[in-house]
Amino acid sequence: MPRGARMEAFVKTVCEQVRFKRAKPGIARELMDHMCDQQQAYLRQGMEEDEAEKRAVEQMGDPVTVGMQMDLAHRPKPQWGFFILTVGLLAAGIAVQGALFGQGDSDRLFVTLIAAALGGLGMAAAYFADYTVLARAPMGIYWGLLAAALLLYVLFPAEGGEAQRGTLLFLLFPTAYAGIVFHYRKRGYGGLMISFGFLAAGVLFCMWCFRIRMGFLCLFSGLLLLTLAVVKGHYGVKKRWALPLLYLPVAAGCGVFAFGYWQRLMTAFSREEGLGYLTAVTRQLLEGAALLGPGATAGSLGRLPELHTDYLLTFLIVRFGWLPFFLVLGLLALFFGYAVVRCLRQRGVLARMTAAAVLSPLLIETGFYLAANLGWMELSSLPLPLLSYGGAGLVLHLVLIGFLLCVFRCGSMEGPPPLACQTHAWIQLADGVLSVRFRKPRS
């Protein structure tokens, strides 16, 4: 029998009993390593190689029984709680939009329902996807996303004040960037700087061709990923040098940016009404809101433009009262709070990074939207995930949430790629046996 054939046959039978595909490489590798160790022990006792392999495999027990036991230990975890929260938020968004549009604008509600249905399919597809593709094809995903955005920019240039098509694609940028960070981890300061370069390229492209605020969203999300990677030691660099290396250029860039807007900001702050007209109107409307039911200023909601996209929460507060708003806020807090906790608990490096990459733009969007709708800042120009009106935006948000749940479902099974029985060292001494490898193993 060819060398190692019995071991491979054993491992193959074990893995056939394991239903969850992603767990198989890790299981195969661990069992193979064990049999190699056992075989080595028998060889040291003077056994022949073939006999040693045969005994090593027999020692493992019945492969079908072992495989069934492994199957019990490796079941993906359905994320029913998150599904319910997602559906709850989606339903809340549809309900508020329904109240806003009324019977006179059923087309828009229809668009939301279609987008919700398509998004649901996208979410399901993402939920059953393999998030480790980010590690296997990081360059393809990163450049593919930027190429798609560039294509939309060239084919559908924005006219007048309309938003450039493809802007929302950058919601996927942090997730694509997570693959880059994962790819360059363990490469020291060089890897960190290259990763930063990829971030800068994507952010500047977004700011130049699409929307500055979306660029900042990508920047903050990317910096969060890099910071997480540095703090957790994935780059193998010292935090006290690496973090300033990251943040000083960003601070300098933001300073240059802020300098250009300094005069506008000073003028805005010096006005009695604060940051701007829309912020002032929002505050005036909120002052008239009731605890429950329409507020005194409900008739003046028309002063705010694009209620369905940009000021849905202000509409909710002024039209229905603070209590329904706090209910929605509670749902959002529960969703994000639980998601953040689950993200931090992920044991796998890629799982944690991917979860953080998906969550951060959702959190930033929500934060900006809340701030704008409560009169704390100017127009957000970013959507509120699952709640505000949007066709493509809603679909993308649901896909992102599906991907997040995919990580939560399978992240605990993340393991290193399978290795052969030998390591990548070309010369090694193990158990008194010196071996030299002349050919690089296939990965």
Partner 1 sequence: MAIDKSLQAGSTSMLLLGLLAQQDMYGYQMIEELEKRSDHTFTLKAGTLYPLLHQLEEQGLLLSYEGTAEGARVRKYYRITPKGTEKLSEKKREWERYTTAVNRVLKGGSRNAAWC
Could you list the residues that contact partner 1 (CB under 8 A)? 26-27, 29-31, 33-35, 37-38, 59-63, 65-66, 69-70, 72-74, 347, 412, 415-416, 419, 423, 425, 428-431
> Shortest distance, CB of residue 68 to partner 1, whole angstroms?
9
Nearest to partner 1 of 35, 285 (CB atom): 35
Nearest to partner 1 of 21, 347 (CB atom): 347
Nearest to partner 1 of 63, 321 (CB atom): 63
| Nearest of 346, 419, 411 to residue 74 by alpha carbon | 411
- CA distances in angstroms from 87 to 77, 111, 302, 359, 369, listed in the order given: 19, 17, 29, 17, 20
Q: Which run of H or of E encompasses 427?
A: strand 427-430
Nearest-angstrom CA–CA distance, 417 and 414: 9
> Shortest distance, CB of residue 423 to partner 1, whole angstroms?
5
> Shortest distance, CB of residue 49 to partner 1, whole angstroms?
18
> Shortest distance, CB of residue 347 to partner 1, whole angstroms?
6
> Shortest distance, CB of residue 22 to partner 1, whole angstroms?
13
Phi and psi (nearest 5°) for 433?
A: -115, 125
> Shortest distance, CB of residue 6 to partner 1, whole angstroms?
14
How many Cβ atoms sit within 10 Å of the Cβ of residue 139?
12
Q: What share of the chain is helix, strand, coil (3-state, %, to 5)?
A: 70, 0, 25
Q: Which run of H or of E encompasses 428?
A: strand 427-430
Nearest to partner 1 of 132, 164 (CB atom): 132
> Shortest distance, CB of residue 35 to partner 1, whole angstroms?
8
Nearest to partner 1 of 11, 275 (CB atom): 11
Residue 274 structure tokens? 């604060």
Residue 153 structure tokens? 């920019």
Nearest-angstrom CA–CA distance, 395 and 123: 8
Burial category of 415 from C-beta neighbours within 10 Å (exposed 0-12, middle 13-18, buried 19 and up): middle
Nearest to partner 1 of 249, 441 (CB atom): 441
Nearest to partner 1 of 67, 174 (CB atom): 67
Nearest to partner 1 of 284, 412 (CB atom): 412
Hey, what amino acid is at 167? T
Nearest-angstrom CA–CA distance, 257 and 278: 23
Nearest-angstrom CA–CA distance, 86 and 104: 28
> Shortest distance, CB of residue 27 to partner 1, whole angstroms?
8
Nearest-angstrom CA–CA distance, 177 and 387: 26
